[in-house]
Structure 1
Amino acid sequence: MRSRIHPASRPVVFRDRAAGVAFLTRSTAHSARTIEWEDGAVHPLIDVEISSASHPFYTGRSRVLDTAGRVERFERRYGRTASNRH
């Protein structure tokens, strides 16, 4: 890799507010907020809406969404599929 073209990465704590889970990882993201981690060090804190701790794909808890109306509306607007057109 070429030197001096990549942003500096450092330890950052990401907190998933929905799941109440925080994890420490390396990132180039900036934040004015800080948190004291389990080892006593102070790291920047970034709150996120969804992480692997709360996302339905990773947790196995799927949400039921009513998409039938959306699909029907799409089919009316654009036809069933592009392969049906000749």
Structure 2
Amino acid sequence: MKPDIHPEYRDVLFHDTSADAYFLIGSTVKTAETREHEGKTYPYVSLDVSSESHPFYTGKQQTTKSDGRVAKFNKRFGRKGTKE
């Protein structure tokens, strides 16, 4: 490997502000802020959404039921009764 071309890989403290959850993950993200967590100081990044607060991961996801194209067509233009 060439020297001095790779970004610095270190433990970074991520904070999900909507769920108030902290994650300590190895990352190359650059940040100027630091925070103390469990007695050690780490680079700090705040997040709006993570696996702790995203509806898909928490199971609080709302699904919308949508008909297919054919069902929508039949609903709009389908025959109500047969007239011949």
Secondary structure, aligned partner of 2:56: helix
Is 1:26 aligned to residue 26 of structure 2? yes
Shift of 1:3: 4.0
Stretches of structure 2 that go unaligned for 5 or more consecutive residues are: 67-84
Read off the aligned partner of 1:25 and give its amino acid letter. I
Structure 1 moving runs of 4+ over 4 Å: none
Q: % of aligned pairs identical? A: 42
Secondary structure, aligned partner of 1:44: strand
Shift of 1:6: 2.6
Return the TM-score normalized by structure 2.
0.67
Q: When you count helix as a share of all residues, which structure comes out higher?
A: 1
Return the TM-score normalized by structure 1.
0.65
Stretches of structure 1 that go unaligned for 5 or more consecutive residues are: 69-86
Correspondence for 1:35: 35
Q: How does 1:44-59 map to 2 (within 5 A)?
A: 44-59=43-58
